[in-house]
Chains A and B, each alone.
Chain A
C-alpha cells in the first residue's frame, strides 16, 4: 500500500522525467500504430469488399491471439534485433493483425441484401464501398484500431528491452527508480493506453456520418 501511495509523490517529483519518457513512449507506439492503420485498413477493407482472403485475415489474427504479446515482442525482437527501429517494427507486427481482421470483417459482414440492392440500383463498386460498406463498417474498423492501440501502447513498455526508450525504461529499472517509480510509470502507461483508446472513440464520433451515429444510438438503446 505504501508503495502505491508513494507512486504519486514520485510522479510530482519526477514529472519532467515521466514527460520525457512519455514522449518517447508515444513515438515508439504511435508510429507503428499509424503505419499499421495505413496498411491494414485499406487492405482489410478491400479484401472484405471482394469477400476474399478470409483465411489470411483470420489466421493472421489467430496467430496474434494465440501468442501473448509479451512473448510475441520478445520473439520479434529476437528476430529483428535491437534498436528503436526494430522495436517499432515489432510493434507494427503486433498492431497489424487486429486492424486487418476487424477491417476485413467490418466490410465482409455488411448485409449482402444491402450490397445487392445497391448494385442492383446501379451503384458502381466504388460507390457501394463508400456509400454502404464503409459507413456501415466504420464502427468495427475503429474497434480494430482501438484494440491495436491499447496493445501497442502497453506493449511498448517491453520494447524498452530493445533499447527504444519510453516508460519501460522506468518500469524495468527498479534499481534506479524504486518500487514507487515502477508503479508510477506503470500507472502512467495504463492511463496513456486509455487516453489513446478514447482518442479513437472521439475520432469515431467526429468522423461518423449522421446515419452511422443514429445506428449506434439505436444499438445502445436496444
Chain B
C-alpha cells in the first residue's frame, strides 16, 4: 500500500506503523507427522510492510498451513519465517501471537462473550486499564461500521448477522493494534452481497491502518479484488506464481494458474481498471478532445450515436461499464461524475485498457 493513502477513519491509535513489519517465508516446508506429501513445499515469499497479499489455491493446497506457521499454531518442518527482523522462533508462541491479529472463517467469536468482551479479549489479557479498553472498543466498532456503538457493545454474537459477526471478528483482530494480520477465509461463509460489502469495508480499513496482511481465500475473484499481490499455491504446497493481480491475469505462469483463473480471465482483468483511468490515458494519447476522436470514429455501423451512449460513472470498473455498453448495443459510453459529463470512452478503449502495463497498480479499481 502507498504511504500517502489518506484516511477518514477514526484511526487515532491505529496509526500506520513505520517499523518494518514484513512477513518473510524463507524456504519454508511443512510435512505433517505421519504424512509423506508436503503440506507446504519450499515456500519463499515476502509480504512487504503494509502490503495485502492473498494466498489462493485449491482446497488442501496448504494455505491454512502457511498462515498457521506464521503464528506458530503449526510448527515448521524446515526453513525460516521472519516478521520484520525477528525470527518467529526467537519469541515464545504466546508473545508472538499477541503481536499478530488473527481472524478466521465463521469469525471464531466467543458465543458467551458480548461484542465488547470479544473485542477486548487481547487488551484484557495485556492488562490494559478499563478506560483504555473501553475507548479502543468503541473506536474499533466505528472503524468496522457498527454504529452507533452503544447498540452493539452489549450484544452477543448469536444476535448478529454473519456480516456483522465478521466485522466484529476484524475489530477483535485489530484490538491491540498488531502490525501484522493473518486472515483465514474470513469472508468464506458470507452470502455474495454481504461479502462484497464486507470486502469493501475491509479494504477501506486496510488502507487506513496499513497492516501487513496475509489473507487466505479459495476465491480468486476475492483475491483479484483485494490483493496487492497474489500467491497461488498448487496441491502439494508448491508456489505456482506470486505477482500482482494484473500480472497474474495477463501472464499466468503455467497451465495450472491459467485454469485456476478460469475462462473469464480476460474479463476479470477488466475489473482491475476504472473508467476514470481509461479516460485519463485516452486524453494523454489523443490530446484533450477525446469526444471528437470517439464521435468522429469511422468504425462501421454505429447503431447508437455517441450522444445516446449509456452513461457510466467514472468509478466503475471496465467490466461493469462494458456490461452496460453491451446491453445498450452501443460503441462506447459517456463518463459521468456527480452529474457532469467528463468525456467519452469507446468500446475499443474499454476492452483494451492500458492496464497491461505492469507498472500500473490496481489502486484505482478499489475506490
Chain A residues in contact with chain B, CB under 8 A? 113-114, 116-124, 127, 131-132, 135-136, 209, 211-212, 214-215, 218
Contact = CB atoms under 8 A, between A and B. Distances in A.
Given A116-B73, A119-B97, A211 B113 contact: yes
A113 B106 contact: yes
Contacts of B113: 211
Nearest to A132: B110
Contacts of A132: 110
Interface of B is mostly: mixed
Contacts of B122: 121-122
Contacts of B51: none
B158 A117 contact: no
B33 to A, nearest CB: 16
Nearest to A136: B112
Contact of B125 (A113, A119, A122, A135): A122
Contact of B104 (A116, A127, A135, A215): A116
Nearest to B105: A113
A76 B95 CA distance: 51
A159 B252 CA distance: 79
Nearest to A208: B112
B108 A113 contact: yes
A121 B121 contact: yes
A124 B126 CA distance: 12
10 contacts: A116-B73, A117-B102, A118-B110, A121-B98, A123-B125, A127-B125, A132-B110, A211-B117, A215-B111, A218-B158
Given A119-B73, A121-B121, A122-B125, A114 B108 contact: yes
B104 A209 contact: no
Q: State the 3 A-B residue pairs at the shortest beta-carbon distance, nearest first.
A: A117-B108, A211-B112, A122-B97
A121 B112 contact: no
A120 B71 contact: yes
Contacts, number: 71
Given A121-B122, A121-B173, 17 more contacts: A113-B106, A114-B108, A116-B104, A117-B108, A117-B109, A120-B182, A122-B94, A122-B97, A122-B100, A131-B121, A132-B110, A135-B112, A136-B112, A214-B112, A215-B112, A215-B156, A218-B158
A95 B125 CA distance: 37
Most B C-beta atoms less than 10 A away, residue of A121, A124, A127, A209: A121
Interface of B: 68, 71, 73, 94-98, 100, 102, 104-106, 108-114, 117, 121-122, 125, 156, 158, 172-173, 182
Contacts of B109: 117
Contacts of B68: 120
A120 B121 contact: no
A114 to B, nearest CB: 6
A127 to B, nearest CB: 6
Given A116-B108, A117-B104, A214 B156 contact: yes
Given A132-B110, A214-B156, A215-B112, A121 B102 contact: yes
A150 B197 CA distance: 53
B189 to A, nearest CB: 11
Given A120-B73, A127-B125, A136 B111 contact: yes
Contacts of A116: 73, 104, 108
A136 B109 CA distance: 13
Contact of B156 (A114, A119, A211): A211
A211 B111 CA distance: 8
Nearest to B98: A122
Contacts of A127: 125
Contacts of A209: 112
Contacts of A136: 111-112
A216 B112 CA distance: 10
A127 B125 CA distance: 9
B110 A114 contact: yes
B219 to A, nearest CB: 19
A124 B94 contact: yes
B273 to A, nearest CB: 37
A211 B102 contact: no
B154 to A, nearest CB: 10
A120 B172 CA distance: 12
Contacts of B156: 211, 214-215, 218
A209 B68 CA distance: 31
Contacts of A211: 110-114, 117, 156
A129 to B, nearest CB: 13
B238 to A, nearest CB: 25
Nearest to B117: A211
B366 to A, nearest CB: 28
B97 A120 contact: yes
B73 A212 contact: no
Nearest to A125: B94
Nearest to B184: A120
Contacts of B96: 122
A131 B73 CA distance: 19
